[in-house]
Structure 1
Amino acid sequence: MNGEHLHAPSGAYALDALPDHERAVFERHMTDCAECAREVRELSATAARLGAAAAAVPPAALRERVLAEITTVRQLPPHVAPGSGAGRSGPAFRGRLPRLVLAACVAATAAFGGVVVWQHEDVRRAEQRAQRAEQRTADMSRVLSAPDARTVTGTEGGARVAVVVSRAEDSAVFLSSGLPELPAGKTYQLWFDDRGGTMRPAGLTRGDGGLVMDGAVDGATGMGVTVEPAGGSPQPTGAPLMLMTLPA
């Protein structure tokens, strides 16, 4: 994605349909493009509303009620054309057909109910993802657009990191590109370096992209990045890959 094509994936991003590497590129682009961020918020909300309108949860007692009525509702016999003979339209088959049809209807009702419930759950998950994405975008935008926002950058090998700090918002945004891919079971962990050298956990990331760092900036004078076991650690377990002084 480059040039004007950077604006194109907003719809796919809103539907969570971009591969990881393209999503990271577009998320970085959105930090500088208010129009794309606004479009993603609107598309995500629209997709969630359309999905919810296409699904409905059947009453919880529907299946039990249909099954209970199988033995109490009298069924009409099938129409038999005069002179057609017994065969499959004879008395024995006439006695079985209504129950077979009703059983098929019950099975179809149960299956349909399962499909609708599945659709509802799928829509609910999509709506939750959209809401989380919208909240992340709003949180990042609030920090990046703050009047007192200040940026510090750093490089290590081929990786480039930027941290945007707003003391008024008491928050910081971490942006990265070129971070090496980690093996399974490992993650990058961010830290706030408080006065006195205390390292405070500030979020996890698996690779390139952007996120609002966990917790308030408070009195932190710096930040660091380490490699930790998946799920993070309460304290750094190894030497930091990068240390940066935060703007005052």
Structure 2
Amino acid sequence: MTSGELHTLTGAYALDALDTDEEREAVERHLAHCAACAHEVRELSETAARLGLAVAEPVGQELRAEVLRRIADVRQLPPVTVPAGRSFGTALGTRRLPRWALAASLAGAVTLAGLAGLQYQRAEEARDRAVRAEASAEAVAMVLAAPDARVSTARLADGAVGTLVHAPSLDRAVFAAAGMPAPPAGKVYQLWYDDSGTMRSAGLMAAGTTSSTTLLEGPANRSSGIGITVEPEGGSLRPTSAPIATMAMPKA
């Protein structure tokens, strides 16, 4: 590998993108004797680090469409070939690619890769949320349609109305609330099963709405009823406040 070829590998070395260990070792030996390339590697490494720590911003659909259009329209430049006996720097008329241009190319490549990864991650998260919501809706429908489903309705605090549905054959329960006042800032409504006086978490009610339907988490058959408490965001392992409402499991 010639000295001229080693000059062209500083960008790949800075991104740890060399194909072989032999190439990396050759570049490192070259950097020990080439102050210009060593300085270039430091600059490119610092640029890559700053880009990696940058806060990602949402990308508009227009930019994505333009990038995809240009990928199909713009041809890639052919590689520069070096005649036998001439160094890469001589083939370019002793001019090397300016460091700012190489850094800009690196920044563009890293940015596009980051944008693509961000879009993929958000799409995957949206898909997972949709799958979970669909599974929960199907489970709620099964409880409500169960042949042995039992239903009770009660008036809760502040004029809210709660409906509890229990399907013993499925060992599941569903709680629906209407007219619930918004919890205090930084708080959520948490549902609990009452297992003979021991409260067991049954999940959180949906935030930001006065009416919601919640598939209670965990088995329902061993519980005598449910309670609702006000808890910190994210919920608690044990109730931290007295129940604002309780309901007994509906009887057959």
Question: TM-score when scaled to structure 2?
Answer: 0.56
- In 2: Cα distance, 1:174 partner to 1:129 partner: 21
Q: Does 1:180 pair with 2:185?
A: no
Identify if the C-alpha distance between structure 1 residues 97 and 239 changes in structure 2 by more than 3 Å, giving closer, same or farther: closer
1:167 Cα shift? 0.5
Conservation of the 8 A alpha-carbon contact between 1:193 and 1:200: yes
Could you tell me how far apart the structure 2 residues matched to 1:222 and 1:197 are?
10
Q: Superposition RMSD on alpha carbons, in Å?
A: 3.5
1:238 equivalent to 2:238? Answer no
Larger radius of gyration: 2
Change (3 A) 1:227 1:111: closer
Cα offsets for 1:195-231 (capped at 9, x unmatched): x333222122235311111110122121121223333
Are residues 1:216 and 2:219 paired? yes
Q: Which residue of 1 aligns with 2:151?
A: 151
The answer on 1:167 being equivalent to 2:168 is yes
Equivalent pair of 2:228/2:243 in contact (CA under 8 Å): yes
- Counterpart of 1:142 in structure 2 is 142
SS at match of 1:183: coil
Partner amino acid, structure 1, of 2:192:
W
Higher relative contact order (CA 8 A, sep 6+): 1
Give the percent of matched residue pairs that are identical in Structure 1 and Structure 2: 39
Query: Which structure 1 residue ranges, 5 or more long, are not aligned?
Result: 1-60, 78-91
On the 8 A contact 2:225/2:249 being kept in 1, the answer is yes
Which position in structure 2 is the counterpart of 1:8? none
Q: Supply the distance in 2 between the matched residues of 1:184 and 1:93 (Cα, whole angstroms).
A: 68
Q: 1:120 and 2:120 equivalent?
A: yes
What per-residue deviation string (whole Å, max 9, x for no partner) do you get for residues 57-107 of structure 1? xxxx9x6548989x9x96379xxxxxxxxxxxxxx9993568876665444
Instruction: Answer whether contact 1:176 1:210 (CA < 8 A) is retained.
Output: yes
Whole-Å separation in 1 of the counterparts to 2:192 and 2:79:
72
Instruction: Report the counterpart of residue 75 of structure 1 in structure 2.
Output: 80
Determine if contact 1:189/1:228 at 8 Å carries over to the other structure: yes
Equivalent pair of 1:75/1:98 in contact (CA under 8 Å) = no
CA distance, structure 1, for counterparts of residue 172 and residue 129 of structure 2:
23
Distance 1:114 1:193 in 2: 48
CA distance in 2, matches of 1:231, 1:105: 43
Q: Conserved in 2, the CA contact under 8 Å of 1:188 and 1:226?
A: yes
**Counterpart secondary structure, 2:131:** helix
Note the residue ranges of structure 2 that are not aligned, 5 or more in a row. 1-12, 25-36, 38-77, 83-91
Higher mean Cα deviation, 199-208 or 116-125? Answer: 199-208
Q: Which residue of 2 aligns with 1:108?
A: 108
TM-score normalized by the length of structure 1: 0.57
Give the whole-Å Cα distance in 1 for the aligned partners of 2:174 and 2:80. 68
2:227 is the counterpart of 1:229 = no
